[in-house]
Structure 1
Amino acid sequence: MRKRSAYAPWARVLAMAVALIVLLAGFVGTMAAPSTAAAAESGNPSAVKGKTYKVGTDTTFAPFEYREHGKMTGIDMELIRSIAKQEGFNVEIQSLGFNAALQALSSNQVDVVIAGMSITDERKATYDFSSPYFQSGIQMAIAENNDDITGYKDLKGKTVVAKTGAEGETYAKQHADEYGYKVISVDQSSTMYEMVKSGNAVAVFDDYPVLAYGVSQNNGLKIVTPKVPHGEYGMAVNKGMNADLLAAIDDGLTKIIASGEYERIVAQYLGEDGAKEQVKAISGKITDNGSTDGTQKKVGFLGLVEQSMPALLQGLKNTLLITLLSFVIALALGVAFGLMKVSEHRLLAGIANVYIAVFRGTPILVWAFFFYFGVPQLIGHSVNIWVAGALTLSLNSGAYLAEIVRGAVQSVDPGQMEGARSLGLNHKQAMSRVILPQASKIAMPSIINQLVIMIKDSSLLLAIGFGELLYQAQQLYAANFRVTETLLIVGIMYFVAITVLTWLANIVDRKVNR
């Protein structure tokens, strides 16, 4: 009888994954953006009267959007509400975060996004924009107690931070080689500022009104460079869709500028001089809604895979490295604390119980922020992001592995210990030679499962700017706005990586515990 290859099932799994990519490539390829002609179709502003539109926005981008007394407020929020009132339509505002808002727009869960979104040629390939409603600019800020950095020339060899998809990130990356600094991108403004204050970055690049507002609110930073004009903000709808809404937004914007309402809104946050400057900057641009001339060509799904793969493979490499490193540490912690918990020594058992309770009872993100932002402020020295990531994953998983080890040891028949002791073995010898070998067989499936969980949990480290797989995907779709397709590629990569690692772990299990 012909022996079946042990590799056959896994080869079929990988073949299915490849087939899935091809099928989805064909499916997604049919979801191409509408033609330029459709995108350029003019809408009827009066057609929106009485209708309700869902508006996606960021969560923390003061003074444009932020929460005050539980309500979304800021320049963007007041503008869209004022325009809606002027044009006779209603809005339901959803605070999602910048990237999540764009994803919601692409999937038609919201109708329009207003989130301090700069109008760029790349974005015009995917979205239709309103007329510009704000002219932005870039500034750099540092910690208020930092007297070493006075300008861009002092950044050589250092790390700066910017917000993913924002103009500050674009500007920072454009000049990184010129001034010799490294750029880390994160998803939240608050995270950027904490990185600077904790010493994990020396400077932040951000839009000037956002920085100025934060400094005025005593956020611990100071601005050290003049404003560099850079980009204009617009409201975005899906390409070729909601032409009536876009026309109404432009019409309403024109009216509130003429009536002085626009200047009143902006003056609340940027002062009279800032408001007058904005009125002057955007006047005469109301008809220029940034419709594309067709020069930005949207590549197909397979082209997107080819473009994205170098960055995604680097992210996958980082994901696997941080996972395996953390797993080794977590396994050592799990065995140690698991044995301590079943120990007859009450102090050791108590220490194990506290460790397990603390790390099983708190979210991973809390510890990621603590190790990367909190510890540096406590010790006065920055913490390497790999160290912070490894500590976060290993200490959290170590608590779960400790319970797995404890359960496995206690699952061994008590008669095994009695038999070993009756043969003259002391407690230590009985544990190492009789109990633990049996416990390892019992625990191995759960340990392998914990490894899989750690791979997925590593994606949470993107919140502190660790360059794992999902972080790289976020950087890609912040630039190309192909959110669904990029996440599809990432999902398949996770599936293949976890499948292969599980296969390898099962091979080790069979060889060690046969």
Structure 2
Amino acid sequence: MKRKWFWTTMLAGLFAIMTWGMPREQVQAAETYTIGTDVTFAPFEFADKHNQYVGIDIDLLNAIAATEGFKVEWKPVGFNAAVQSLEAGQVDGVMAGMSITPERQAKFAMSDPYYQSGIAMAVARDATIKGLKDLRGKRVAVKTGTASADFANANKAKYGFTTVTFDDSNNVYQDVTTGNSQACFEDFPVMQYGIATGVALRVTNKTPYAANNYGIAVLQSHRQDLLVKINAGLKKLRANGQYDKIVAKYLGDGSQASQAAKTKKTQEGDRSFWGLLQANRATLWAGLVQTLELTVVGILCATVVGILVGLLGVVPNKVAQGVATTFIYIFRGLPMIVLALFIYTGVPGLIHTKIPAFVAGIITLTLNEGAYTAAFVKGGIGSVDGGQMEAARSLGLPWTKAMRRVILPQGLRIMIPSFINQFIITLKDTSILSVLGLLELTQTGKIIIARNMEGFKIWTMVALIYLVIITLLTWLSNYIQKKVR
């Protein structure tokens, strides 16, 4: 009777929680739109020194939302990932300096143009390159999925240069300043802003190549609601002068490198290593906390899955062994970045349900790290002398009890160092999840660099943080191994 009462209460509580949450989600879905963006694309979107997202795109859409009565939830996943997320229905729209092209208009609903841009070619300050004709035999850096990359690829055969592609603007600029590439193509206002804030490059063309218009891409299913609101709000902001104020805030009159950008550079304060560390310590700490959360939750889930699959691999059953072998083969063989993007942008298109980035990250870690864990669990159990199982069975113990009482205690002693090492590997692998827009340590570093263009110093900080944590975990691993011996 008590058991029946317990289960009745549990089911009633669960039902109450579910029914209480449903109306909130429905109201939020009707009023809030998730917009994918690339916060390494200053001055259109970037994070300020307080780690708040600002820029022309951010301010403009926030103003449109305030005018038209809806809310915006920004999703900083990078340009390429943002477009893929929109295709998968993970976000409702993308605003990231996206050029309006026939291909994008065929796939997405595009807003009215909100900014006219074009392509700039930039080279090192002391380079002798003056124009496109001087690029023959040279290497040119571009950013993946952008109009500037399309322009470069369309003209490389004509002018005889090769291209190399990066995922963010800072790496594009760094490849030129370090001499690996001799030029880069970037959106004209973005390149001007970058130079004004410290990028050691110069623009070769006075007028932009391939003039184009920026627009906001939304899902076709939102054409009648979100797109109508965006276009209406944009029209109102142009009429009341608020649009011009937003653009002028970041680009001045648009013809020269922005005075606002120069002021921003001055306000950054001490740009020495310690000065930047002091200014960004809160942001780096937040990224570290996210990294540790992903690592701990990921390793716990991967350990459970790995042990279960590893045990399946030693069960005296061919089907169970086949399942374990297949699991290990697939998820240990897939590159982790491919698995992450498949789960985050591919699976939602099949199940027609959004998967939060954190959940997608944990699933990725669970499957990938779980496969490696299963392999060494299977190997650890297999390394125990076969005579141990025979002896246990001869004493009348069933297989499960013999495994639990005799084999596993010996196998675990062998596996413990591998568990610690897998924890270290998982910690490092969380950096790959930055492609999902998770604000872990690596993504945090990218966002900081997009603001101050101090790539070497910021990556040094990130590397030192990883090294400190990995060193502590290595000491722990060595200590445990000594205790086990």
TM-score, length of structure 1 as denominator length: 0.44
